[in-house]
Structures are given as C-alpha cells and as structure tokens.
Amino acid sequence: MNYIGISFLAIIPALLLCWYIYSKDRIEKEPFGLLALLFVAGAVVYFPAIFTENALIGLIDNAFACKVEYSLTGVAEYVSDGAFAAHSFLCGIFAVALIEESFKWLALYLITFKNKNFSHLFDGVVYSVFLSLGFAAAENVRYAVIDGWDTFFLRSVTSVPAHMIFGIVTGVCYTVWHTYKIAVLKEKILEGEGVITIQKPCRSAYWLIISFVLPFVLHGFYSFAEFYTSDMMKMLFYVFIVTFFALCFVFVRWLSAVDSIDDEVAFHLLSMKYPQLKNRGDTTLDDLEEMERSE
C-alpha cells in the first residue's frame, strides 16, 4: 500500500470543505497563518483525544465483558439488546463524543477567544470549522492507513462532513457568545459614563456552554449510531448525515450573506435593551473605550 498517497488523498476532503467555508467569508478574509494554525491544532489534538478515547472504550469493554457470549465460531454477541444499547451509548456518548468535542473546543477557545482578528459574525464559524476539519483530516488519514481504501471513501462522505457539521454548530454558538461578551463590555463602559443604569446585566456565559453542549449532543447521537448497528439506527444515521449536511450548507450561505461586524451587532443588542442609545449611532467598543479614557 502507498501510505503517502493514501494519506494525501485522505486529507483532500477536509481541505475542500475548508476551501468552501473560506470562500463564504465574504467581508474580511481571515489570516492564512491563523487558519493554518487552527487546522494543524485540530490535527494535533486528535492524537491525545484518540488515546484517551481508546482507553475509555477499553474500560467500558471490560465492564461489559460479562454481558458478552461467544458462539462456536467465535463471534461475540451481547446477552441482550439492552446490554448492546448500553455499551453503545457509553462508548458513543462518553468515550467518543465527549472526548473529541472537549479537545476540539478547548483548542478553539485557547487560540481564538482573545484573537484580534475575531471581528465578524462569520469568523467563529470559520475558526471552528477549520479546527474541526483538521481533526477530521488526521482521523481520516489514520483510518485510511490502517483499514485501506474502502474505509477511506466511506469516512470521506460521513465522518469528515460530520465534523464540519459539528464545527458549524460550535462556531455559531461561539460567535453568539463572543458578540454578547462585547455587549457586556460596552454595557459596563456605558454605565461608567452614566449613560445607562444596568438593571439586568447581559449574560454571555451560557452561550459559551451551549457552544460545547450542542455539538456534543449531535456528535453523541452520531457516534451512538455508529456503535449501535441495528437496521433502524443505520437508516437514522444516514438520514442524519444527509439532512444536517444539507441544512448546514444552507445555513452557511445565509450566515455568509448576513455577515457583519460583531462590534456593531453588540451595540445593536444594547440599543434594543436601552432605547436611549439609539441616538448614539453604531458606536464601536473602541469608540467607547476612547470616550472613557478622554474623561
């Protein structure tokens, strides 16, 4: 087997999807160095993630060893559908989805949460997708090298797009958090100027939590369907992939079309909460900080 050739081909699906997302960033393209860093970071965190994942699956397999029987031909079967479902649930939800989304989310947060280039609504989607597809590329290379061409082609149209889907969901929620975080800073500055009196502060933390929880739930269902190989689950699995993949392409096109500066969106959110701000125009966070320094 030509390992270099198959490894190169295994990366192509992820690169094509990265190019698609990059092409939809219509207002201000993100720096190539930052995007390359995110893609490589996604590939790097794959290795500790898969090590942790395999260790947890090993522990779960040992815990369910008493629930497995072997036929005369050596085929392993669970003693009941309930045991099979429980094993699949624990492996899919906690050993795979939780670990993989945790590593990806942490890398995304550490690299971008204070990055000065994070200035538009679409940026969070770009960052999250590039990191997720870096993870997917490393995963695809590993499976292609170990299992060969059949696995490579199958995962190229299932696992790689799935990681993009999870990345889009993460990125949307992450951008909402980032925008609300800016609104909170604006709110504090305006209160310090005496322009407003904060009655109920803007909350942003729960969007940060949702940016992890929602893709984790989606990934959990995806991985559970991979482990629990019933005919019904297989059908749901492919319906899930096709439906969410189509919806994500539609949503990406829409979000790209309405993309705008998150600083201005944050001020708009505050203007809806405090009507007296509408006469101030689209004041940016830099404008407010400059006002505060000049007093």
Instruction: Give the model confidence (pLDDT) of 182-215 as tens digits.
Output: 888 888 888 777 777 777 766 778 899 999 999 9
Any idea which residue has 């989607």 for tokens? 125
77: three-class secondary structure by DSSP? strand
The more confidently predicted of residues 78 and 205 is 205
Q: How far apart are CA 193 and CA 195, in angstroms?
A: 5
Q: What is the DSSP letter of 258?
A: T
Q: How far apart are CA 14 and CA 164, in angstroms?
A: 8
The predicted pLDDT at position 67 comes to: 80
Alpha helices in the chain (DSSP H): 3-23, 32-63, 81-89, 98-112, 123-147, 149-156, 159-192, 205-227, 231-257, 262-273, 285-294
The more confidently predicted of residues 136 and 261 is 136
The confidence band for 219, taking pLDDT boundaries of 50, 70 and 90, is very high
Q: Which of 46-55, 68-77, 156-165, 188-197 has the lowest mean pLDDT?
A: 68-77
The confidence band for 226, taking pLDDT boundaries of 50, 70 and 90, is confident
Q: Which of 29-43, 50-64, 199-213, 278-292 has the lowest mean pLDDT?
A: 278-292
The more confidently predicted of residues 254 and 71 is 254
Q: Which of 94-108, 223-237, 267-281 has the lowest mean pLDDT?
A: 267-281
Nearest alpha carbon to residue 252 among 196, 144, 169, 132 = 169
Any idea which residue has 């081909």 for tokens? 9
The confidence band for 265, taking pLDDT boundaries of 50, 70 and 90, is confident
Q: Enter the tokens of residue 246.
A: 């189509």
The predicted pLDDT at position 279 comes to: 65
Residue 292 has pLDDT above 50, yes or no: no
Phi, psi at 108, each rounded to 5°: -60, -45
Q: How far apart are CA 237 and CA 226, in angstroms?
A: 8
* Contact between residue 2 and residue 145 where contact means Cβ atoms under 8 Å apart: no
Averaged pLDDT for residues 213-239 = 87
Q: How far apart are CA 91 and CA 104, in angstroms?
A: 18
Averaged pLDDT for residues 84-113 = 94
Percent of the chain at pLDDT exceeding 70: 90
Averaged pLDDT for residues 1-12 = 79
The predicted pLDDT at position 287 comes to: 54
Domain boundary assignment for the chain: 3-294
Q: Which residues of 180-207 are buried (b: 16+ CB within 10 A; e: fewer)?
A: bbbbbbbbbbbeeeeebeeeeebebeeb
The predicted pLDDT at position 281 comes to: 55
The more confidently predicted of residues 9 and 217 is 217
Nearest alpha carbon to residue 251 among 141, 121, 104, 100 = 121
The confidence band for 291, taking pLDDT boundaries of 50, 70 and 90, is very low
Residue 268 has pLDDT above 50, yes or no: yes
Q: Which residues of 69-79 are buried (b: 16+ CB within 10 A; e: fewer)?
A: eeeeeeeeebe
Averaged pLDDT for residues 273-295 = 58
Q: How far apart are CA 46 and CA 77, in angstroms?
A: 31
The predicted pLDDT at position 155 comes to: 83
The predicted pLDDT at position 129 comes to: 97
Averaged pLDDT for residues 108-125 = 93
